[in-house]
């Protein structure tokens, strides 16, 4: 069995994830900020009628 990865960048880090763990790749979009949310949550986006939290990857990994 071959390993299939999605390779992406978070700040200066090059990262990879198994394609089976990736639901969808989206272009950048503006998020609605959530007052009181932790700093790693950039806000919410509306994805085809469903509110989805947007995670700030660099903050999550301790890189700004």
| Helix or strand holding residue 46 (H, E) | strand 41-47
The total of structural domains in the chain comes to: 1
Residue pLDDT, tens place only, 21-52: 998 889 989 999 999 999 999 999 999 999 99
What is this structure's pTM? Answer: 0.71
Write down the mean pLDDT value for the chain: 93
User: Are 54 and 45 within 8 A, CB to CB?
Assistant: yes
CA–CA separation, 27 vs 24, rounded Å? 10
Average pLDDT over residues 18-23: 94
Give the residue numbers spanning the domain of 46: 5-60
Q: Is the pLDDT at 64 greater than 80, yes or no? A: no
């Amino acid at each position: 069995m071959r390993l299939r990865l999605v390779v992406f960048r978070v700040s200066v880090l090059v990262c990879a994830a198994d394609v089976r763990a990736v639901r969808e790749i989206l272009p950048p979009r503006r998020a609605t900020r959530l007052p009181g949310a932790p700093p790693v949550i950039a806000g919410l986006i509306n994805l085809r009628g469903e509110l989805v939290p947007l995670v700030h990857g660099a903050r999550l990994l301790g890189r700004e």
